[in-house]
Amino acid sequence: MTDQNLAVVVLAAGRGTRMKSERPKVLHSLAGVPIVGHVLATARELDPAHVVVVVRHERDAVAATVIELLPEATIVDQDEIPGTGRAVEQAISALPTSFTGDVMIVSGDVPLLDAATLTGLLVAHRASTSAATLLSAIFEDATGYGRIVRTSDGAVDRIVEQKDATPDELEIHEVNSGSYIFHLEPLREKLALVTTHNAQGEKYITDVIGLLRAAKADVTAVPVSENWIVGGINDRVQLAETARRLNQLIVRGWQLAGVTILDPDSTWIDLQTTIAEDVELLPGTILVGPTVIERGAIIGPDTSLDSCEIGSGAIVRRTDATLAVIGAGATVGPFAYLRPGTYLGEKGKIGAFVETKNAKIGNGSKVPHLSYIGDTTVGEGSNIGANTITANYDGVNKHATVVGSHVRTGSHNVFVAPVTIGDGAYTGAGTVVRKDVPPGALAINVAPQRNMDGWVEANRSGTAAAKAAAAASDEVAEQA
């Protein structure tokens, strides 16, 4: 049920210069979802009456992503006045005048902060008389974080930013996580008093804490259970660390759901992926996007699947596949490359060193090895010989190849599209098929073999080959 007394403000206006990227920091991917997408998902789970997202850097790109992921969100543009305080000030101005509840503030670059933690913070806030409740953490090395300064009796007094802290304040290990809950009216009143008179020249939301305390209002700090929950992402190192932590949680979740994962450290799974019970993931498996794997399939080792569907009992080994569908009981690999549009039917096979693209291969049909099959439809129960190529491109247009059911094609064939091979047909080894093959026919175009006796001696005299040939000829003559 929607909490009509809760508004969530997401701060996503920063440049993220330490990422050293043209892409906005909050749009970098984490387990297949933009960083800010994780924050928005948490906000949705809280079911607040309002979600306001403050944007500025690369405004259009960030806003478009936010609306795509959370259409009901309100977008607010931060103006020229820098700082989190100004961002929050503009955000609460966008709330309806009828709203008088609590304002939760979270950062768009803290993706692992979950709804359970924030719900606990909200419960603590509402159970107290505090005008503000903030989430804190204890860090051995608190460099970069705002320090929570307490009074002699342990009450929260103020928050001091790293660049404004005294040497004694820098020794404090309790830090501000950047997540808060305020009663709206005290927040609005004190934000109007916050200035930019500090080392950064910014309007800090943290200054509100000191102003509230000066007005004799209570402020509470609730520590998190694990520091990584409030870890922000400011550079590529932190992005990688957060990705690994999140992946550990995802992998563990699937293990507890009945998936065998032999090497969690080398297995990466996106949040959008769905895996059934009794699936086995071998080392080096990477599952990207909305990949779906049905019961009993075996994936890996060293396999990457992007937005694929894998049927029950299928085996996919050492394969790179994108937008491919693999039927139940089918086998793929090793060293197969499945490009978008590949469909392999039940109990079919795509073997070693095979590349497919926009290819529909029917139930029980096989492309065992060393082949390229593109823009092709293969019926049921057919076998494509080794080293087969579908020549689907004439330099201007792509053309289709159709192979019927129960066809047997020879090794080293080239099918020059557009061409159709009828049901039950055969083709000979080395055949270049340039025209349609009727059902049940044998297609061959190999010229009769011609042996030119003595050619090596005449043309390669004195070579190792010539000496070997001469010795063999003498041996044959002696045995005659």
Residues carrying an active site annotation: 369
Retrieve residue 319's tokens: 């394969």
Rounded Cα–Cα distance for residues 440 and 417 (Å): 20
Task: Give 391's strand partners.
Answer: 416
- Cis peptide bond prior to 418, omega within 30° of 0: yes
210: left (phi over 0), alpha (psi -120 to 50) or beta: alpha
Nearest Cα neighbor of 324 from 311, 312, 395, 335 is 311
Residue 28 Cα distances to 113, 177, 330, 376, 408, angstroms: 17, 21, 35, 37, 49
| 292-293 vs 309-310, strand pairing mode | parallel
State whether residue 23 is helix, strand or coil.
Answer: coil
Rounded Cα–Cα distance for residues 121 and 390 (Å): 62
Q: Taking a C-beta distance cutoff of 8 angstroms, is the pair 210, 85 a contact? A: no
Q: Taking a C-beta distance cutoff of 8 angstroms, is the pair 353, 373 a contact? A: no
Retrieve residue 186's tokens: 């005290």
Residue 312 Cα distances to 267, 275, 276, 297, 332, angstroms: 20, 11, 9, 5, 13
Retrieve residue 215's tokens: 């007005």
Rounded Cα–Cα distance for residues 253 and 207 (Å): 40
- 166, burial (CB in 10 Å: exposed 0-12, middle 13-18, buried 19+): exposed
DSSP 381-439: T-BPPTT-EEE-B-SS-B--EEE-TT-EE-SS-EEESSEEE-TT-EE-TT-EE-S-B-T
Q: Taking a C-beta distance cutoff of 8 angstroms, is the pair 132, 186 a contact? A: yes
